[in-house]
Amino acid sequence: MYEQWHDRAWLLRHCLFLLVPVGIHILPYGSSPLAPLAALPATLHSLDKTLNSLQALEYLQAAALRNEETRATIDKYWSEQSRLARIVRENEDIKEEAQSVGISFGADGVDASPLMIFARNTVQRWKMLMASLVEPEGGHGQFN
């Protein structure tokens, strides 16, 4: 009896998953084409809060380094992180596994890894994009 109930619930669930997208597609679209712009104020508010948090974090880090006790704790933490990173970089099994998934450390350390090359190329593309936005044709942008 439980097996039949479970089978029916499973079938109903799958039918629901098949019918809901079709129903959503058939139903009339009630919002205007400008609906995505309605989310813009909330997005700007969220970005502003994030920027404020990042600025506060910068001041918090500087304040933490002024205190002898927290500075010692921070130094201890980063020393431990450095030690663990060195252990990971020297482990041959980890190097082989990283290479098999395409994020190897490379022949001469981290600099030659495919992931690092991708990151460098991405940053270069962002720099070129930002330069094209900041500098108008003629090269006399407001930030020169």
- Between 83 and 118, residue with greater pLDDT: 83
> In this prediction, what percent of the chain has a pLDDT beyond 70?
78
Q: Which residues of 3-23 are buried (b: 16+ CB within 10 A; e: fewer)?
A: eeeeeeeeeeeeeeeeeeeee
How far apart, in whole angstroms, are the C-alpha atoms of residue 91 and residue 108?
A: 15
Quick one: pLDDT band at residue 1, thresholds 50, 70, 90? very low
pLDDT at 95: 82
pLDDT at 81: 94
Quick one: pLDDT band at residue 80, thresholds 50, 70, 90? very high
Quick one: pLDDT band at residue 87, thresholds 50, 70, 90? very high
